[in-house]
Amino acid sequence: MRKGGKFIVLEGTDGSGKTEQFKLLVKRLKREGILAKTFDFPQYSKESSFFVKQYLNGAYGGWKDVGPYKASIFYAMDRFDISPEIKRWLSEGRFIISNRYVASNMGHQGGKIVNKKRRLEYFKWLYQIEYKILEIPIPSKTIILHVPPRVSIELVRKKGPREYEGGIKKDIHDQDLKHLRQAEKSYLDMAKMFPRDFHLIECAPKGKLLPILQIHKMIWNYVYENFVRR
């Protein structure tokens, strides 16, 4: 990768508003004269997400039937499909912003593994699959937007059912509120276990979600200081 190539990923617990923050960050970079290449995972409009859509819509049963390892492979192959394009942009020294990436697997699939030791084993397995075997690009940094479960659950309920291509039904993860709590633990675990890879931003430090623009400012300040100004 040529000097100057940067790959920033925005992740977050449910209800954190990561998609809105993703859009705001891209717009801010543009105002600063940086035309970022963007990616949004899963790629629901592409054939590479076929198994992801089948899984989310319950075609293989509930998430307990599928399990974290098989489900992770569905998502990994979707990222693998676009990885040559990501590598090309990085080799040209470009700035890349992605809405979700490998850490989404770590958070949501890792949340299904209650035992911390086994969850760490899963994290290591996933790193091996994605970054060593499939050789997808490793982000420069993944920013995790953290919202506590008690706030997250209320925000998710207000959003209503999610729809994917074809107007199909609600995400099987959102049907289990316990999963939101476990996913939050998994996101916090990965931030502690791999501090070089992740940066955690508290979006509801006092139990109430901060204003959108305030969260954006926190994200921008971090990105600017660590990847734009340098």
On whether residue 12 sits in a domain, the answer given is yes
Distance from C-alpha of 112 to C-alpha of 93, rounded to nearest angstrom: 37
Distance from C-alpha of 187 to C-alpha of 145, rounded to nearest angstrom: 9
Residues 11, 17, 23, 25, Cα dihedral to 10°: -60
**CATH code, domain with 191:** 3.40.50.300
On whether residue 99 sits in a domain, the answer given is yes
Average pLDDT over residues 47-51: 97
- Quote the Cα angle for 76-109-12, to 5°: 90
Structural domains counted in the chain: 1
- Quote the Cα angle for 173-106-189, to 5°: 110
Distance from C-alpha of 78 to C-alpha of 73, rounded to nearest angstrom: 9
Q: How far apart are the first and last CA of the chain?
A: 17
List 144's β-bridge partners, or say none.
11, 200
On whether residue 214 sits in a domain, the answer given is yes
On whether residue 20 sits in a domain, the answer given is yes
Average pLDDT over residues 211-219: 98
The token pair that represents 147 in the structure block: 């919202």
On whether residue 1 sits in a domain, the answer given is no
For residue 1, the model assigns a pLDDT of 36
Residue-number span of the structural domain to which 104 is assigned: 6-228
Residue ranges for the known binding site are 12-19
For residue 159, the model assigns a pLDDT of 64
Average pLDDT over residues 29-36: 96
Of residues 93 and 178, more confidently modeled: 93
On whether residue 95 sits in a domain, the answer given is yes
Which of these ranges, 17-21, 40-44, 100-104, 174-178, has the smallest mean pLDDT?
174-178
Smallest CA-to-CA distance from 43 within 13, 91, 79 is with 79
Residue ranges for the known binding site for ATP are 12-19
Strand, coil or helix: 50: helix
Which of these ranges, 27-31, 129-133, 167-171, has the smallest mean pLDDT?
167-171
- What is the pTM for the complete model shown? 0.89
